[in-house]
Structure 1
Amino acid sequence: MRSTSSLRVDGGPSDPSQIMNTLTECYAPEDFDEASSLLICNFPPGCNPFTARNYITWWGPVIRIERAPSVSQEANFVVVFAAPEFAQKVLDCGPIVYDDGKTMLYSRRVDDRVTVWKKLSDYWTGPQESTSIGQLTGDGVNYQECAGAGR
């Protein structure tokens, strides 16, 4: 975990909305889709994965949830939804009010996992944005993302 914002004396960011930016190197669990995975921050202290899962399933089916590092006493989780559309729905909501009615939850996409193949590809061709094949063909089919498709 790397810190990238101003911190309080106890080590936590002075603004809870900055927790998600303070936490870096938060990845989707191994062998799970990054597009379906989010880092959701600022659950109340003591919140466990079961409770967080129960709350987050209001936005879509959760297939995996793991604790993420904490910068203060808050609970943070990496949540993997059944499909990227559910993760996007959470992002589109912006900050979410938790069950207690006062705690704001903040979310962002997980960090891209850097692989040897990605490092080599970027070295040879430069960084490339991923493009959906379905978007290129216009057939409306939801294909997996392919780095540099159509270039």
Structure 2
Amino acid sequence: MSGFDSNPFADPANDNPFHDSSVIQVTNSNIEPVEQFNPFPAHPTDSLAAHTTPASTTPYQPAVLQPSTEPSPQATAAAAQANLLRQQEELERKAAELERREQELHSRGPGGKENNWPPLPKSFPIKPCFYQDFSEEIPLEYQRVCKMMYYLWM
């Protein structure tokens, strides 16, 4: 509690942590340099400086680059060209398919096919809403399932 009685505005000579005797002793002592420190001695009882080996006999060595295994610019250009050709062929196939579908739509004429679903009697005042053809619009492997579901729904 004596710290509370002291003058806070007095000279802080005693409060400087660097004037501590243990800090001064460590900073003035002769400690081995970091280069000679070996954190992994052969045996824990061996001295640290006795088994250190220098990293190299010469202080500086030139950097040696290993040859890279990257493909040549000609090979990468050829691969990119092949990729572009493959993409172009794929786009042309898709464009041909779209053109074929468009021709089918135009061949149906202005009225197209007559709407047939839901099936309603001819005398009924409301006409069917859209055209449905299982053999044309549904793949062969799913036609049986779709027809069964349709008949169950009906």
Shorter-chain TM-score range:
under 0.3
TM-score, structure 1 length as denominator? 0.17
Indicate the structure whose relative CO is greater, using CA pairs within 8 Å and at least 6 residues apart. 1
Find the structure with the greater CA-based Rg.
Answer: 2
Q: Would you tell me which structure has more strand in proportion to its own residues?
A: 1
TM-score, structure 2 length as denominator? 0.17
Q: Would you tell me which structure has more helix in proportion to its own residues?
A: 2
